[in-house]
């Protein structure tokens, strides 16, 4: 990285990678200060929405040296989009992070329309955003993470053989829930921040029914935000209501699940949610 960016994101490498499906991704890899895989191998924590999240989450790697609450060593792998596509990350994530067949909630469509009326999106941008939600491929993206990207991280950064984690927020949180419910064996802990379960007909509920009482062994930590629940935006109210329903169903079955309510909005909750995940699932 350039000297300027290295000063902002210390110990961070960046590379681009094309998936077997022909999709281009940007990947930021942040190692602990002084990391030497020859002496101590650390597991990887994969963080979604890298174009947005890396600046707020990668600096928290210093928690591994916090004398008041130390976090287990980890290498952060932030995954986003590369090249010209990077400017369209907020719609491309819909394709990659949303499970196949996930319904589009009316409240979400209304929220997108509100954005158009407020001037936050053009009509063309709104249409493109919703179009990505009609053809979603979280299954393909999960395969890219586990079968293509992770082996490369293992080779180049000498990661530990176990203890890997995954963190996602909003639709990334939906992807985290989806990944947990698939029973993926790569991740031993998963953080789902304000998971984008926007509809009562979500694939998440269908998968819960299919699994019955045989829940995954991986730790799952779910956060929601107080101001999502108490605010006046229906789409965020739905997220918190549906996340609570998921949690109730999981804890009733004895799942390895923890949760927290944060005093944030949907937009400001990303960093707080990631820190909550670290403190809950990765504390020494």
Q: Chain centroid to CA 56: how far?
A: 13
- Please compute the mean of the pLDDT values over residues 74-99 and round it to a whole number: 96
Q: How many CA atoms lie within 13 A of 61 on its CB side?
A: 27
Q: Which CATH code fits 3-281? A: 3.40.50.1820
What pTM, to 2 d.p., does this model score? Answer: 0.95
- Which residues sit opposite 63 in a β-bridge? none
Residue 75 · residue 36 · CB < 8 Å: no
Contacts of 196 (CB under 8 A, 6+ apart): 97, 98, 170, 171, 172, 173, 174, 239
Instruction: Indicate whether 34 pLDDT > 90.
Output: no
What's the pLDDT tens digit per position in 127-140? 999 999 999 999 99
139 or 255: which carries more pLDDT confidence? Answer: 139
Report the distance separating Cα 190 and Cα 218, nearest Å: 7
Question: What percentage of the chain carries pLDDT values higher than 90?
Answer: 85
Residue ranges covered by each domain of the chain: 3-281
Q: Are 271 and 57 in contact (CB under 8 A)?
A: yes
> pLDDT at residue 90 above 90?
yes
- pLDDT band at 121, cuts 50/70/90? very high
What is the reported pLDDT for 69?
87
Q: Rounded to an integer, what distance in angstroms lies between the CA atom of residue 103 and that of residue 120?
A: 24
Q: What is the pLDDT of residue 131?
A: 94
pLDDT at 134: 95
Write out pLDDT tens, residues 144-173: 999 999 999 999 999 999 999 999 999 999
- Residue 248's Cβ-count burial label (10 Å; 0-12, 13-18, 19+) is exposed
User: CA torsion angle for 32, 153, 176, 280 (degrees, to 10)?
Assistant: -30
């Amino acid at each position: 990285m350039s000297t300027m960016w290295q000063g902002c994101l210390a110990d961070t490498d960046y590379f681009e990678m094309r998936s077997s499906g022909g999709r281009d991704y940007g990947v930021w890899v942040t190692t602990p200060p002084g990391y030497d895989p020859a002496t101590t191998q650390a597991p990887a924590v994969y963080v979604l929405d890298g174009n947005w999240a890396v600046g707020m989450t990668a600096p928290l790697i210093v928690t591994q040296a916090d004398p008041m609450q130390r976090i287990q060593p980890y290498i952060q792998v932030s995954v986003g989009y590369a090249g010209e596509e990077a400017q369209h990350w907020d719609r491309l994530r819909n394709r990659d992070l949303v499970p196949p067949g996930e319904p589009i909630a009316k409240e979400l469509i209304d929220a997108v329309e509100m954005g158009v009326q407020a001037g936050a999106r053009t009509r063309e941008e709104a249409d493109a955003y919703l179009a990505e939600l009609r053809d979603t491929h979280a299954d393909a993206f999960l395969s890219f993470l586990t079968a293509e990207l992770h082996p490369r991280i293992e080779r180049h950064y000498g990661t530990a053989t176990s203890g890997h984690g995954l963190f996602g927020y909003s639709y990334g949180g939906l992807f985290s829930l989806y990944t947990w419910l698939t029973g993926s064996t790569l991740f031993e802990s998963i953080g789902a921040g304000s998971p984008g379960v926007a509809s009562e007909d979500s694939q998440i509920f269908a998968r819960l029914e299919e699994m019955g009482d045989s829940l995954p062994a991986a730790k799952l930590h779910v956060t929601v935000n107080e101001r999502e629940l108490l605010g006046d935006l229906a789409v965020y109210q739905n997220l918190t209501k549906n996340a609570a329903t998921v949690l109730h169903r999981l804890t009733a079955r004895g799942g390895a699940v923890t949760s927290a309510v944060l005093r944030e909005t949907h937009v400001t909750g990303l960093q707080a949610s990631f820190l909550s995940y670290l403190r809950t699932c990765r504390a020494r």
